[in-house]
């Protein structure tokens, strides 16, 4: 409904655009790749920097991780954005090419960007893949940011779905067969209702899975409709009752 879309949009702003452009005023220092290479924290070098999506951070405070001999020293003095997603710290993995990454990998890059923005001082921008020589975002950066935004939107929607239709608890034994049941914590989703088991079908796919469905109150996303039938989400068209299970039972057993 519109309610959570608004919330999701605000959350997205917090998460992407607002973060992606925070603290990088146009006058930020521009570094070349050769300059950045001098910032690996070795004796006689001017400091310890790393870049992520073309943004350069001073990571001196994390010297034991990023300095010479540290577990992440491979990230220092360069933009190795891809390694933050892949965990590949070989020379082949320490690169800034983010093409072809999965939504989950993009979210990992995004959370690292939040981490550096919150914990380390921004220095400026790296001229190359993500910023041109005037410090203007390149097509590659805009594409990466758009892909991150998509991944965040998808994640927000998935979390909303989990709140609306948390997974059932289930167990199987040869003696007793299969048991599905709902509790206020089933599926790892804490809530103030337990719900009743139903099959949830996804448009366009064959399978169904067991979810817990609210059986009283207004339908999801319509908190103020006074005309509702006080059946929660039971009338959602993507749900089906389990045969041979009472409609409002909190558990269903199939032998």
With a cut of 50, which residues of the chain have pLDDT below it? 23-24, 26
Q: Is 146 exposed, middle or buried (0-12, 13-18, 19+ CB in 10 A)?
A: exposed
Residue 162 is predicted with a pLDDT of 84
Question: In the prediction, which pLDDT does 67 show?
Answer: 96
For 170, list phi and psi in degrees, rounded to 5.
Answer: -145, 150
Residue 240 CB contacts under 8 Å (≥ 6 apart), including other chains: 198, 199, 201, 208
Secondary element (H or E) of residue 197: strand 196-201
- Give the contacts of 28 (CB within 8 A, at least 6 positions apart): 122, 123, 124, 125, 135
Task: Give CA–CA dist 133/30, Å, rounded.
Answer: 8
Long-range contact set of residues 217-222: C-beta below 8 Å, sequence gap at least 24: 220/1, 220/164, 221/1, 221/2, 221/3, 221/4, 222/1
Q: Residues 64, 57: contact at Cβ < 8 Å?
A: no
pLDDT at 218: 87
For residue 3, the model assigns a pLDDT of 54
CATH superfamily of the 2-160 domain = Cytochrome b5-like heme/steroid binding domain (3.10.120.10)
**What was the pLDDT predicted at 113?**
95
Lookup result for tokens 């993507």? 238
CA dihedral 157, 163, 165, 170 (to 10 degrees): 120
C-alpha distance from residue 48 to each of 23, 43, 249, 252 (Å): 19, 11, 61, 60
Tokens of 21: 């452009």
End-to-end CA distance of the chain: 38
Give the domain ranges of the chain: 2-160, 165-254
Q: What is the pLDDT of residue 254?
A: 87
pLDDT of residue 19: 56
């Amino acid at each position: 409904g519109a309610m959570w879309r608004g919330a999701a949009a605000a959350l997205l702003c917090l998460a992407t655009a607002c973060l992606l452009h925070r603290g990088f005023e146009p006058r930020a220092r521009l570094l070349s790749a050769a300059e950045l290479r001098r910032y690996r924290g070795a004796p006689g070098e001017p400091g310890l920097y790393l870049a992520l999506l073309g943004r350069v951070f001073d990571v001196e405070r994390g010297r034991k991780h990023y300095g010479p001999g540290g577990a992440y020293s491979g990230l220092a003095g360069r933009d190795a954005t891809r390694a933050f997603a892949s965990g590949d710290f070989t020379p082949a993995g320490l690169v800034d090419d983010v093409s072809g990454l999965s939504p989950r990998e993009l979210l990992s890059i995004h959370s690292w960007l939040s981490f550096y923005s919150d914990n380390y001082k921004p220095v400026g921008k790296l001229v190359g893949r993500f910023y041109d020589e005037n410090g203007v975002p390149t097509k590659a950066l805009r594409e990466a940011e758009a892909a991150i935004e998509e991944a965040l939107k998808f994640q927000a929607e998935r979390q909303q779905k989990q709140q609306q239709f948390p997974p059932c608890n289930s167990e199987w034994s040869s003696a007793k067969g299969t048991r599905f049941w709902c509790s206020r914590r089933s599926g790892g989703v804490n809530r103030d209702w337990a719900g009743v088991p139903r099959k949830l079908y996804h448009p366009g796919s064959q399978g169904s899975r067991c979810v817990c469905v609210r059986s009283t109150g207004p339908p999801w996303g319509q908190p103020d409709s006074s005309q509702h039938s006080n059946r929660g989400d039971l009338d959602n068209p993507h749900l089906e009752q389990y045969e041979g299970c009472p409609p409002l039972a909190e558990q269903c057993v199939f032998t």
